[in-house]
Structure 1
Amino acid sequence: MKIKTFFKSLIFLIFGFIIIYFIFKNQDLNKMVLKLKSANYCYLIVSMIFGFCAYIFRALRWQILINTMQYSSKFGPALHSISIGYLANVIFPRAGEIVRCTYFNQVTKVPVKKLIGNVILERVIDLSILIVLLLFSFTIKFNEISIFFSNFKTINPKNYIPILVLISILICLLFIFRKRILRFNFLKKLQNFLSDIQSGFKSIFYINKKNLFSLYTILIWLMYIFMTQICFYSIPETSNLNFFDGIYITVIGGLGMIIPVQGGIGSYHAAVTLALLSLGHSETTGITLAILIHTAQSVMILFSGTISTVVLSFQKIKS
C-alpha cells in the first residue's frame, strides 16, 4: 500500500472522529445510552436484510452490464465481489470499486478495465437518482427545511467557534501545502470526470434488458429507503415518521456518505442528525437514530464482506 494512500485515509478518519467529537460534545451521554438500550433491535435486523437485498439487486444489475459486454457471469461471484467492495470501503474510502472489480476478475477472468467501465456507469446512474431524490425531498420538505434554517438566526455566535476553528485550520493547511496542491491539474481531472459521466450516459443506450435493468435500479433504491425507514420504529421518538421522511433521511445520509471517510463515520451521523433536526426532532434523537442505522449497516457490511472474502478465496484456489 502506498504511504500517500495510507496518510490520506488516516486524515479522513481523523476528520470523521473530529465530527463525532463535536456531535457528542454537548450531549447527555447517559440519556443517549438509555435510549440505545431501550431500542427495539429487531427492526435493525430487518434493516440489515433490506441492506443485503440491495446487494442482491445490485449484483443482478451488474450481471446485465457484464452480459452486455458479451461476457458470461454468475450471480455468486458478482454478489460476493460487491460485498467485499463495501467491506474495503470501510478500511480505505473509494477503494471498494477497484477491489470489487479485481476480485471478480480473479474468479471470472473478465478484464478489470471493462468492469471499471461498468462501475463508472453505475456511479453515474446512482448519482443521478440521488440528485433527483434530493430535489424531490427538498420540494416535499420545503416548509420544515425553511423553518430549520430560519432558526439559525437565534443561535448563540459562540456555538460557531469550533466551526470557525476548523475552517481556520483548513485555510492554514491549504496555505502551507499550496505549492503541492497547485501541482495537481484540477481542470484535467474535472474534464476526465465529466468525460466519464458522458460516456456513462452513452453506455445506457447499449444495455441489454433495459426494463429489467431499470427495475433492479428502482429496487436498489427502495431497499436503501426501507433499510432507513424501518429503523424509525426502533425508538418511539421517530416511529411516527413516514415513507417520504425515509426518502429525505436516506438522501441526506447518502450525501454524508459521499465524503470519503471510512464507513461514513461522523459524516453520516452528522448528516442524519441535521435531517432529524430539520424535521423538528431533538439532537439527541437524531444522533441516536443515526447510530442505530449506521450500526445495523456496518454489522451487515462486516458480516457479509467477511463471508464473501472466504468464499471467493476458496473459489480462486479452485480456479
Structure 2
Amino acid sequence: MNRKLKRGLQLTLPLLIAVGIFYFLYKDLEKETILSALRETDLFWLGASLFVGLIGYLLRAWRWKLLIATREAVSVKTAPVFWALMVGYLINLLVPRAGELARCGAVTRVYPISTGKLIGTVVLERTIDLVFMLLMVTLAFLLQGAVFLEIFGLLVSIPALTQFVQSYFVLGMVILLGIVVVLYLGYIKFKSHRLAGKIRQFLRQFVSGIETVYQMKNQWGFWVASLLIWFIYFLMMYWIALAMSATNSLSMGSVLMVLVMGSIGMVAPVQGGIGTFHAMVAFILLFYGISEEQGKIFAMVVHASQMITILVLGGIGLLYFLPKRISNLSEERNVY
C-alpha cells in the first residue's frame, strides 16, 4: 500500500468513525433543546471546572518534568514541558496516540535529551495513569456496586467470556511463545547489524526513562501530583454536573461512576474520544434517571470544555515552539 495512502487512512478512518458515532448520537437531538440547556448552565461552576482543569494540566506537566529531569545535567523548566504537553494533546485530536511522540519531539527542541528516554517517561506516565484509573474503577465499584454489576451484566456475558477463555487460552499461549521465539531468532541473526545496534541504544534510553520512577528525587511530589490529577478529573466533571439543571442532583458517587465510564470512552482509538466518550457518559446517566437527551448534552458540555482548552493551549504551544525551531535552524546554518 502506498505510504501516503496508508497515512491518510490512519488519519481519516478513526475520524470518520468518531464523526459517525457522534452524528448517530446527536442527529435526533433538537437544536433548541441544546441551546435551552446551555442557557440554563451556571457559568460559575462551568468556569470553576475550566480553571481546575488548567491546574490539572499544569500538574501533569510538573509531574512529567520530574521524570524528564532525573539524571540530566541540564535544568529542566516546567513551562516548556507544559507547552509540549499541550501540543501533544492537540496532535492527538488529529491523529490518535501521535501526540505522545509529538510532545517528546517538542521537548527535544528545547533540551538535549534523548527521544528514547522521553518516550520511556511517557510510557511510564501512561502506565501509572492506568493504575490510578483501575483504582478509580475499584472505588466506583465500592460506592456504586449495584449499578456497576447491572452495567457489567448488560455489557458482558460471564458464561460466554468463560467459554472464550477456556477455548482459546492454549492457542493464545502458543502464539505468544511463537512470537517470542521468532523475535529471539531474529535478534541472534541480526544482532551485529548496524540497525540492531541503534535499536539496542534506543531500548537502553527507553529503559532509562522507565527507571526514572524510582530514581527521581521528589518521590512524594510525584505521587501526590498523580493522585491530585485524578481528583481534579473528578472535580471537573462534578462541577459541570452542578452547573447543569438536569444533573445538579447527582451524588459524588454517581459522578465518579460517570467519570469511570467516560474515561473508558476516552481510551478508544479515535480522535479525542469523540463519540465514544459521549456514548458512554449518556449511557451511564440513564441508570441515574437522567434522560437520554440530557445525558448527551451533559457529555457534550464536558467534552467541549476540554477540547476548547486543548485547542487554545495547544495552539499557543505551537506558537511557543515555532521560534525554537527557527532558532535551531539558525544555529545550524551558523555551524555550517
**Shorter-normalised TM-score: what interval?**
0.7 to 0.9
Partner of 1:218: 227
Measure, in 2, the Cα distance between the counterparts of 1:301 and 1:97. 14
Partner of 2:98: 95
Partner of 1:105: 108
- Corresponding letter in the other structure for 1:314: P
Q: For each residue in 1:46-65, what CA deviation from the matched residue of structure 2 results, as whole angstroms up to 9, or x when unmatched?
A: 22222221111111111111
Partner of 2:282: 273
Partner of 1:18: 20
Measure, in 1, the Cα distance between the counterparts of 2:43 and 2:292. 21
Partner of 1:69: 71
Partner of 1:45: 47
Paired residues for 1:185-224 under 5 Å: 204-224=213-233
Paired residues for 1:106-125 under 5 Å: 106-125=109-128
Partner of 2:305: 296
Give the alignment's TM-score, normalised by structure 1: 0.79
Measure, in 1, the Cα distance between the counterparts of 2:178 and 2:237. 36
Measure, in 1, the Cα distance between the counterparts of 2:136 and 2:154. 25
Q: For each residue in 1:195-237, what CA deviation from the matched residue of structure 2 results, as whole angstroms up to 9, or x when unmatched?
A: 9xxx687653333221111011111111211111110122112
Paired residues for 1:219-234 under 5 Å: 219-234=228-243
Structure 1 position 131, deviation (Å) = 1.3
Measure, in 1, the Cα distance between the counterparts of 2:217 and 2:78. 17
2:70–2:212 Cα contact (<8 Å) kept: no
Measure, in 1, the Cα distance between the counterparts of 2:254 and 2:240. 12
2:67–2:213 Cα contact (<8 Å) kept: no
Unaligned runs of 5+ in 2: 156-176, 184-202, 329-336
Distance 1:107 1:142, change over 3 A: same
Distance 1:312 1:276, change over 3 A: same
Partner of 1:163: none
Partner of 1:314: 323
Measure, in 2, the Cα distance between the counterparts of 1:104 and 1:236. 43
Structure 1 position 147, deviation (Å) = 5.2
Measure, in 1, the Cα distance between the counterparts of 2:55 and 2:233. 9
1:44–1:292 Cα contact (<8 Å) kept: no
Distance 1:311 1:242, change over 3 A: same
Q: Residue 260 in 1 paired to residue 269 in 2?
A: yes
Unaligned runs of 5+ in 1: 153-184
Q: Report how many residues are paired.
A: 281
Measure, in 2, the Cα distance between the counterparts of 1:261 and 1:149. 23
2:121–2:210 Cα contact (<8 Å) kept: no
Measure, in 1, the Cα distance between the counterparts of 2:178 and 2:20. 27
Distance 1:148 1:78, change over 3 A: closer
In our comparison, the structure showing a higher alpha carbon Rg is 2
Identity %: 30
Measure, in 2, the Cα distance between the counterparts of 1:295 and 1:258. 17
Measure, in 1, the Cα distance between the counterparts of 2:41 and 2:323. 39
Structure 1 position 36, deviation (Å) = 2.5
Q: Residue 284 in 1 paired to residue 293 in 2?
A: yes
Give the alignment's TM-score, normalised by structure 2: 0.76
Measure, in 1, the Cα distance between the counterparts of 2:314 and 2:85. 8
1:245 is aligned, of 254, 258, 270, to 254
Measure, in 1, the Cα distance between the counterparts of 2:251 and 2:46. 17
Partner of 1:33: 35
CA-based RMSD of the aligned residues comes to 2.8
1:54–1:220 Cα contact (<8 Å) kept: yes
Structure 1 position 26, deviation (Å) = 4.5
Distance 1:33 1:303, change over 3 A: same
